[in-house]
Structure formats: C-alpha cells, structure tokens
Chains A and B, each alone.
Chain A
Amino acid sequence: MDYDPMIMDDAEALGPVVKISQADSVRVKWELSNTDISFANSLRRVMLAEIPTIAIDLVEIEENSSVLADEFIAHRLGLIPLNAEGIDSLLYSRDCDCDGCCEHCSVRLILHAKCTGDENMHVFARDLVPTGDRINQVLGTPIINDSEGLGPLILKLRPGQEIKLECIAKKGIAKEHAKWAPSAAIGFEYDPHNKLHHLDLWYESDPKAEWPPSEYAAWEEPPQEGEPFDYDAVPNRFYFNVETAGPLPPDVIISEGIKVLQQKLAGLIHELADEGGDGGVNGDGYNGGGPRSPEYGAGAGMDGFNGGYTTPFGGAAAGNQSAWGGAGGATAYGTTPYGAGSSWS
C-alpha cells in the first residue's frame, strides 16, 4: 500500500491514531499508533478469545453408518463457522431460564443425508439446515463463501450409508473453546526494523539476508548505520491484520473487541463503586462500615456513573457507535460522572 502523507499530520495530534491500509470482506489491515503496546496487545487478545459467537455444542446422532465415529463427526460439526449476526440478542444458555436450551439461547440444525446413488456422496456444511424459531433469519446459518456454495466438507458417504443428526448451537467465547473464535488469524506486528531489539533474530551468517523485510518495513525509518541504541524508545505503531473465519465481518470483530474490553472495564468499575457498601472488602477497615463510604462519592456521582454503565449493555444490535457516544470527554462514560474528578476525590 502507498504511504499516506496524511498520517503524518494525524500522528502529531494527541491521542491514538487509526489508519486502515487494506480492507475487504475477509480482512482488515490497519495500524494503531500513539498508544502503548499493552493496550494494543489487550485488544489483540480480546479479539482472539473473548468475542461471543455461536458454534455447535451438542450433537444428537440418530443414524451414522458412515466410516467416521460419532464423536469425530461431532467435533467436525463444532468447528463449522456459523453466522453470528445478532449474537447480542442470544443468551448464554447458562444464563437462560429454560431447562437446557431454547430459541432464546440456542439454534437447532439438522443434518440428514443418505447416499442412494452408486458414487460416493460428499456432505457439506450447506446440508446443515437450521430449524425452529430463531432470533433472526441468519443467526446460526453455516457460513458459505466458496463459489460453488458448498461450505466446508463434513464427511463422505459410500452408497447405502446414511447420516442423520440434530445439532444445538450455542453462544460462547474462544477462551472456552477455539470453535467460538470469530477470527481465523490476527496479525500483530510492530517495530519492523527491530530497532528496539525486542527480537533476537537467529541467523547463519547475515540476518539482513536471511530475514526478509516485513511489508511494514517501508513505513518506518530504517536504522542509520552505526546508530546508537535508544534505551528509552518504546513501540508506538502497531500493525494489525484481522482476518475473519466468517461468523462476523472483520471490521465488526474490531469494534466488538473494543466493546468486550469496555464491558470488562464497566463491570469492574461498577463493582468497585459498589464495594463501599459491604464490609468484606478489607481487613483493616479503612473504608469499611456504613452503607456507602463517602470516598466512593455518594449521590450524583454514583447515579451518573450507573447511567453510563448501562448503556453499552443495553445498546441495540445497531451498534457500538451510538452506545459509546462521541470522542474524548463527551463519551457516555466521560461526561457527567467523573469529568472534573471532584466527585471522586
């Protein structure tokens, strides 16, 4: 990609900068700069492992005369990417009031195929048919991106063999099982010239010849000959390559990732704010006693904060943008409750 001179102007401004260099329905290549590596890494971790999606979790096999064992097929089914659009409205089945699973916390899919011809038959993800009520008409539908419209191959049947089963797909995150990962891969890279010496590149005789330059090497100034090592330098530009496995579009993976971080933080802030009320927090009682210790900011501050806290959770599927509000101090979190900080000190 061409180097955009615009970025120089942006980079001089305070605060983080985002630049997208390539984007399509499968991947977004983007650069995050003017933040610290810890935030960039947290975002990477959250996009990999904590964005909720939907995947087949239970399989009831009625008939399986194929050569593959039941559990082998069940495992393959679990790994088939399912559309996660509207997943926010689906409950985790552990949070649902139902007994086991229902349309509020799961999607049912049926697979029934029998080889009646005299050639081997291929069974694909397109043969998985969602049934029953669903939150919307796409949630839980297998993702099919190939030009023939087949989807991933599940198994093959010889003449006379049959497979008949019912699957229950549930909401989950990749921290529990990788089948819930929204992304196929997330590229994460910084300091393409290794100026910071975070890498100790192994080599036979010449590291320059043996390690091909990164595609981002042209974006950053190469080290000068004999340049002294800068001990104070910290990484500042982070190059992400977010590639989806299908459940969510790549740009949604990024915004959902930030949303998950937001929810993590909001939950903790909420709990810390509540903590003044119960005595179990500490051993030495410096904030114990009383229904709500004054140092937690009684009254307006609390209510104001709670107002902000509910927004990201209550926000409609339409999006993150509206729920999070504008930039900087104008956010739902930043405006009233702790703008000046006086209510907290």
Chain B
Amino acid sequence: MAKPKVKKDESATAAEPASDVVMDEAPTSHQPENDDNMSVDPNENGEEGEEGDEIEDEEEEEEEVQRVRLLPGSTPTAASFEFLNEGHTLGNALRPDVEFCAYAIPHPSENKMNVRIQTFEGTTAIEALQKGLRDLQELCDVVTDKFIDARERFVAASAS
C-alpha cells in the first residue's frame, strides 16, 4: 500500500521545487510592524553610509506612527486619548487618580483603545495620564523586587 504512494510523491517532489516559494521569499510575520513595545531596536546606534541612510528612513517612518493621539473635542482637564495596539491589558490596569477615568475598545477588529480622563482642578488630563502610567511602572518595579525576594526566600527555605 505504501509503495505507490512513495512513487507518486517522489515524482511530485522532483518536478515541483522550482515552482515552490523559496523559504526566504515567504511573507514575514503578520504581526503589526509598528507594535514595537518589546522589539529590540536594531537602529539604536545610527551608522553612516548607505546603510545609515536606510536606517534613518526607517526611523522616520516609525516616528510617523503615533501610538497615542488626543481625540478632537478634548480640553485640558477633560480629554480622550486613542492608543494604537493597546487593549485590555493596559486599559484596565491604568487607574490614574482623577475625577473620572474610563477606557473602551470601540471595535474588536480595530487595534485601538480609547481612554477618557477628566481631572480635578489643578492638573491636566495629559499629566494625569502620564502619572497613571508612571505609577503603574513603579508598581511593576515593586512587584518585581517582591517576587525576586520571595523567590530567594523560597529557595533558601527549601534548601535548609
């Protein structure tokens, strides 16, 4: 039963390779290119020459993609922001200390997340957003330290 199959496949593979897409030409990942939160930036050190120019072009393109946008109708103390390539992970975790804050993902097939912030007198919505982000960052720092600490204690306790 296996024999005829082997033959058939051999003939197929012998004839076909030329028409196959070479691996190097296959399309790259479908992940959005501007989702750069965690990618290692190869262009950190600008270089000279032709290569350098290319790198600069790329950098310019990247900068054009604005990931945070202030939506029309915003005032200094009551503003709506649109985040590209962010979702519940950031939207729900972001809890600035303000009069009102809410987030929404207007449509599931659009990679956008909107945040509405209304502040008390004395701070602007942008400042409140920035503070919210930085507070969350500090929380991450603290949890990392606590986790490393707990791991060390656990390792020490199980060794003894």
Contacts and interface: CB of A to CB of B under 8 A. Distances in A.
Contact of A271 (B3, B40, B66, B76): B66
A233 B139 CA distance: 22
Given A265-B140, A266-B137, A328-B142, A88 B29 contact: no
Contacts of A175: 31
Interface stretch (A75-83, A89-97, A211-219): A89-97
A168 B68 CA distance: 35
B97 to A, nearest CB: 12
Given A251-B147, A334-B141, 20 more contacts: A15-B142, A15-B146, A16-B139, A19-B150, A23-B151, A39-B136, A42-B88, A42-B90, A92-B31, A95-B41, A158-B2, A160-B6, A166-B23, A173-B31, A262-B140, A282-B70, A284-B72, A286-B76, A328-B141, A334-B138
A100 B23 contact: yes
A173 B66 CA distance: 22
B67 A271 contact: yes
Contacts of B69: 280-281
Given A261-B140, A264-B37, A283-B72, A38 B9 contact: no
Interface string B22-63: 111110111101001111111010000001001000000000
Interface in A301-334: 313-314, 320-321, 324-329, 331, 333-334
A159 to B, nearest CB: 8
Contacts of B112: none
Contact of A101 (B17, B24, B39, B138): B24
DSSP class of A's interface residues: helix, strand, loop or mixed?
mixed
A11 interface: no
Contacts of B134: 265, 269, 333, 338
Interface stretch (A54-62, A140-148, A220-228): A54-62
Contacts of B23: 58, 60, 100-101, 166, 168
B53 to A, nearest CB: 13
* Chain B interface residue number, banded: 35 or more
A265 to B, nearest CB: 5
Interface of A: 15-20, 23, 30, 32, 35-36, 38-39, 41-43, 45-46, 50, 52, 57-58, 60, 62-65, 67, 88-97, 99-101, 158-161, 166, 168, 170, 172-173, 175-176, 251, 254-255, 258-269, 271-273, 275, 278, 280-284, 286-287, 295, 313-314, 320-321, 324-329, 331, 333-334, 338, 341, 344-345
B126 interface: yes
Contacts of A65: 2, 5-6, 9-10
A281 to B, nearest CB: 5
Contacts of A262: 137, 140-141
Nearest to B22: A60
Nearest to B141: A331
